Amino acid sequence: MANHYLLPLVASLSLFSALITIANAAPPLAFIIKGRVYCDTCRAGFETSASEYLEGAKVRLECKHFGSGEIIHKGECVTDATGAYELRVEDDHQEEICEVILVDSPRPDCGEVHIGRDRARVSLTRNNGISSAVRYANAVGFLKDEPLLECGLLLQKYALGDSD
């Protein structure tokens, strides 16, 4: 009679052991960072309806250790025809500060790095309540050498233009 109770126990322990083995063999965490690079054609300091998205802009991802500032991970990519990029990052980076940083513009007339819009921080850990592996970085942008003629009127619509 005692063997009758052992069979379900042994089966349960075997199943539990198999599940642990599968969990330990799971592939490493991976994140996909998505973002865009734009040309600030009005030199407004943010995206406007006149902004142009840059194909061929280069961005770099840097993950630095909180304490030491040492770069633990980095990668680069180039934007597509819509100014969008995707970076795949392996592993969890909970102990690091990760940022997407502007590197190079494909346009000589829109290559000035806009301080404040030159980098976007992204959280690359599962320990923050975000279940998706896709992380969206804020858009980053370069400044056009000379603003477009229509920018004065456009910025007035945003109530940012000169009142003259």
Q: Which range marks the domain in which residue 75 is found?
A: 30-157
- The answer to the question of residue 48 being in a domain is yes
- The answer to the question of residue 20 being in a domain is no
Mean pLDDT, to the nearest integer, of 59-78?
Answer: 91
User: Using 50, 70 and 90 to split pLDDT, how confident is the model at 73?
Assistant: confident
- The answer to the question of residue 38 being in a domain is yes
Taking the C-alpha atoms of residue 95 and residue 75, their distance in angstroms, rounded to an integer, is 18
| Phi-psi domain of 123 (left: phi exceeds 0; alpha: psi -120 through 50; beta: other) | beta
Q: Give the pTM.
A: 0.77
Check residue 123 and give its pLDDT. 86
Mean pLDDT, to the nearest integer, of 152-156?
Answer: 89
- The answer to the question of residue 80 being in a domain is yes
- The answer to the question of residue 58 being in a domain is yes
Choice among 53-62, 124-133, 150-159 with the minimum mean pLDDT:
124-133
Instruction: Decide the pairing of beta strands 134-136 and 84-90.
Output: unpaired
Taking the C-alpha atoms of residue 18 and residue 67, their distance in angstroms, rounded to an integer, is 39
- The answer to the question of residue 163 being in a domain is no
pLDDT tens profile 26-43: 455 789 999 999 999 999
CATH number at residue 100: 2.60.40.10
Taking the C-alpha atoms of residue 39 and residue 47, their distance in angstroms, rounded to an integer, is 8
Kindly tell me if the per-residue pLDDT of 93 is higher than 90. Answer: no
Total domains present in the chain: 1
Highest mean pLDDT among 58-67, 79-88, 124-133: 79-88
User: Using 50, 70 and 90 to split pLDDT, how confident is the model at 138?
Assistant: very high
User: Using 50, 70 and 90 to split pLDDT, how confident is the model at 100?
Assistant: very high
Check residue 163 and give its pLDDT. 54
Confirm if 78 and 56 have CB atoms less than 8 A apart: yes
